[in-house]
């Protein structure tokens, strides 16, 4: 129901499709130009070729589309309602509150980012001289789903902080800044930043690991760690959400 209503609302403003298409094309163009400039100076970056890094860029753009279409609109609505005391409307509904606040909003036209990401991934894979079988494809989609879950959990943890901080207008900009780190393989960063962007801010698992699955760079124990970490983070996010609800004082309080 929420998806249908969100789609109907977005279809009222069809000009936004062209705006989103332009933004997506611009993002892809900037990313490809930066890659071209880097690889004009070196044949590889920490062992990653130009084509392989295109796959990483494509995964980052694809997940960015998921974030901007589903995750971020809902998290921003959540923080606004906590500040204004309007979260009561979600909490009083006969359904799980976390589920409701995670699915109420849909920015339909952001699917252009997802299409752009898939296109960049396809071009990158076409330029890689490696055999990709069904196992690699299944691992890619499975790890991509895990990556989306990790990003959702991280965003919800940030949004839940609104129960304590109230004014959290800076969260979207902060997340965008952190998410841009995912345009590059996590292994190129210093050790302290590598671990921070893998476990504290799970961009490493979300972006680099799926790209490794289709570029023959994945160590299967890494995939296992990603699954375990996703389960642990989901459980922590659920606990933190319930803890935050205890702090909420809304319009009916």
- Going from the C-alpha of 153 to that of each of 9, 17, 188, 216, the distances in angstroms are 26, 28, 25, 28
CA–CA gap between residue 180 and residue 64 (Å, rounded): 9
Helices (H), the chain: 2-11, 15-39, 50-66, 72-84, 88-91, 97-103, 111-126, 134-160, 162-165, 171-179, 191-195, 203, 209-214, 220-245
* Long-range CB contact pairs, 175-184, < 8 A, 24+: 175/67, 175/72, 178/203, 179/60, 179/64, 179/67, 179/151, 179/203, 182/56, 182/59, 182/60, 182/63, 182/206, 182/207, 182/208, 183/31, 183/34, 183/56, 183/57, 183/60, 183/207, 184/45, 184/53, 184/56
DSSP characters over 21-62:
HHHHHHHHHHHHHHHHHHHTT-S-BTTB-HHHHHHHHHHHHH
Distance, CA of 18 to CA of 109 (rounded, Å): 9
* 144 vs 125: CA distance, rounded Å: 16
Per the CB < 8 A criterion, the answer to whether 147 and 204 are in contact is no
pLDDT in tens, the chain (253 residues): 888 887 888 788 778 888 888 888 888 898 889 888 888 888 888 888 898 999 999 999 999 999 999 999 999 999 988 888 888 888 888 889 999 999 888 888 888 899 999 999 999 998 887 778 888 889 999 999 999 999 999 999 999 998 888 777 788 888 888 888 888 888 888 888 888 888 888 988 899 999 998 888 888 888 899 999 999 999 999 999 999 998 887 655 5
Q: Please enumerate in sequence order all residues whose Cβ is within 8 A of that of 138, keeping only pairs 6 or more positions apart, or say none.
A: none
pLDDT on residue 252: 55
SS3 222: helix
Residue 41 C-alpha from the chain's centroid: 30
Cα–Cα distance for residue pair 10/16, rounded to 1 Å: 8
Helices (H), 67-105: 72-84, 88-91, 97-103
- pLDDT in the model for residue 251: 59
- C-alpha 162/C-alpha 236 separation (Å) is 17
């Amino acid at each position: 129901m929420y998806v249908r209503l969100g789609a109907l609302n977005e279809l009222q403003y069809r000009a936004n499709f062209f705006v989103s298409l332009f933004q997506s094309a611009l993002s892809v163009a900037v990313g490809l130009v930066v890659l071209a400039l880097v690889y004009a100076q070196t044949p590889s970056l920490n062992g990653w070729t130009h084509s392989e890094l295109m796959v990483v860029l494509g995964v980052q753009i694809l997940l960015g589309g998921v974030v901007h279409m589903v995750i971020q609109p809902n998290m921003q609505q959540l923080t606004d309602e906590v500040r204004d005391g309007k979260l009561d409307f979600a909490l009083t509904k006969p359904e799980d509150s976390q589920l409701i606040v995670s699915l109420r909003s849909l920015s339909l036209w952001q699917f252009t980012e997802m299409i752009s990401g898939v296109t960049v991934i396809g071009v990158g894979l076409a330029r890689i001289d490696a055999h990709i079988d069904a196992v690699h494809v299944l691992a890619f989609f499975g790890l991509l789903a895990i990556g989306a879950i990790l990003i959702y959990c991280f965003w919800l943890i940030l949004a839940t902080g609104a129960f304590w901080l109230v004014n959290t207008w800076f969260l979207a900009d902060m997340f965008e800044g952190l998410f841009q780190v995912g345009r590059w393989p996590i292994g190129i960063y210093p050790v302290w930043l590598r671990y921070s962007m893998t476990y504290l801010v799970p961009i490493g698992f979300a972006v680099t690991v799926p790209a490794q699955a289709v570029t023959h760079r994945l160590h299967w124990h890494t995939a296992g760690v990603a699954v375990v970490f996703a389960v642990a983070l989901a459980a922590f996010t659920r606990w933190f959400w319930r803890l935050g609800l205890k702090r909420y004082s809304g319009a009916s309080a």
